[in-house]
Amino acid sequence: MLKLTKQSAKAILFLQQLFILSAFGLLTIRNGQPDLMAAAMGGAVCLFNLLQYNILRTAFRHLDRFVLLAAQFLWSVGLIVMYRIRPEYAFRQGIFLIVSTFAAVIMMLIIRRSKDFGKWNWVFMALAVMLLGSTLVLSRAIGGAKNWIDIGPFSFQPSEFAKILFIMGSAYFLSTRDKLTSFIPYIAFTGICVLLLVAARELGTGLLLCGTFLVLFFAATGRTLLTMLGVGVFGAGAFASYHLFSHVQTRVNIWRDPWSSYNAEGYQIVQGLMALASGGLFGVGLGKGMPGVIPASHTDYIFSVIGEEFGILFAAIVIIFYLVFIVRGMLIALNAENIYDALLAFGCTCMLSLQGFIIIGGVIKLIPLTGITLPFISYGGSSLLSSMIQLGIIEGVALKNGKREEKELRMMGADVR
């Protein structure tokens, strides 16, 4: 009799717990006197991951556990580094993590039940444009980019949520249309989103949307020539914005030679590079580095802090965790029942991986630095919430796949464990 069994992931979870406990244990004795707060935080993170994994696995039989485990490791590393930089960051991020887990579960439930949202996609698209437009009117600037909105004591980044709406709109358009002219509203929508992002000086997210658009368009239609044309238009747009906007020019100039403006614009890149260099292969040890000298070390530049304290080999393993996440996400997309689900899962995977590539590339000076967060690791409520919602979408599609497969297997008399 045929049997479909799932591999045990207990060993991975155990190693993860060991990692978190030993890292927070080390942080406990960092300041010369025992810091019980660190021990408590370590215990809380462990308990949270364990509970989250087991509850989700029991509640959803077809959960893709490897995607969840990869994400869990990523945010655990983030919390450790944040606690080391400033404990308050870790506490706040922990609360965001609990809230966004609920958001991810809600998203899983929605995606599991839904087909494409039909006419609602027009509402989503309008909402995305409104969210991006609202930043221009209501925002305050952080580090040159106008992308934050304050509502009472909370502040949030509308572009993070526009990204998710963009993926849903893309999946709808690319799965339901096939004539070229019927793509015009969608292409116009992408153009408006990117223009609004560039106007708000949010170049990273603009680059992210462009990249996701091109990849999704190619994946859905398979038209090489048109995609190349899109790349050409995108290149021309990038070239034009280099000449039109001074902030783009600054970004490119400090990328080409950050050392000449070490005391001014290039400071962040140079500090990040020096942190990576001083870390070397194995790092200087947790708590022994100097993340204080890197601006935005807990958000955009968290990768260089990881590189400094844990070493570049560890940082490479962090990247491999992203790769595992990406490969599993793509397998889920390939396995999906219909094109809409496939594009939804693929879009989220693509968005998260491009986001990681853009910021890690920026930090190691491979591409010009554009400030976006490292998914799951960086500090930031909106960013984590948006990453978790995307994780929820991927898991939701996985649940659908699993249910369909189980039905098929059971019908033919196979057993599913």
Partner 1 sequence: MLASIYTVLAAGMKYWFLLLAALMVWLLISSSTKEYRERKAVLGEIGEYIGYLEILRGLPEAKGARIGITRDNTIGSGRNADIVIRHPSVQKSHAMIYLKGKKLILSPLTKGVTRINGRRADNAYAVRSGDVITLGAVEVKVYIRPELERAVC
Footprint of partner 1 on this chain (CB under 8 A)? Answer: 1-9, 11-12, 15-16, 18-19, 22-23, 26, 29-30, 32-34, 66, 69-70, 73, 282-288, 309-311, 313-314, 317-318, 320-321, 324, 327-328, 331, 405, 408-409, 411-414
Query: Which runs of E-coded beta strand occur in 69-225?
Result: 140-142, 145-151, 154-156
Would you say 33 or 181 has its CB closer to partner 1?
Answer: 33
Closest distance of CB 358 from partner 1, Å: 22
Q: SS in 3 state form for 340-365?
A: HHHHHHHHHHHHHHHHHHHHHHHHCC
Least CB distance to partner 1 at residue 255 (A): 30
Least separation in angstroms between CB 200 and partner 1: 37
Least distance in angstroms from the C-beta of 402 to partner 1 = 10
Q: Which residues contact 388 (CB under 8 A, 6 or more apart)?
A: 97, 100, 101, 103, 104
Q: C-beta of 2: minimal distance to partner 1 in Å?
A: 5
**Range list of H helices, 266-376:** 267-279, 302-310, 312-334, 339-363
Q: Determine the number of helices (DSSP H) and then strands (DSSP E) in the chain.
A: 15, 5
Residue whose CB is less far from partner 1, 70 or 128: 70
Residue type (1 letter), 205:
T
Q: Which is nearer to partner 1, 136 or 313 (CB)?
A: 313
Pick the closer one to partner 1 by CB: 26 or 367: 26
Which lies closer to partner 1 via its Cβ, residue 186 or residue 310?
310
Task: Specify the residue, 71 or 210, whose C-beta has the smaller distance to partner 1.
Answer: 71
Cβ(220)–Cβ(175) under 8 Å? yes
Q: What is the CA radius of gyration of the chain?
A: 22
Cβ neighbours of 375 (radius 10 Å): 26
Supply the minimum distance, in Å, between the C-beta of residue 42 and partner 1: 14
Task: Tell me if residue 188 falls in helix, strand or coil.
Answer: helix
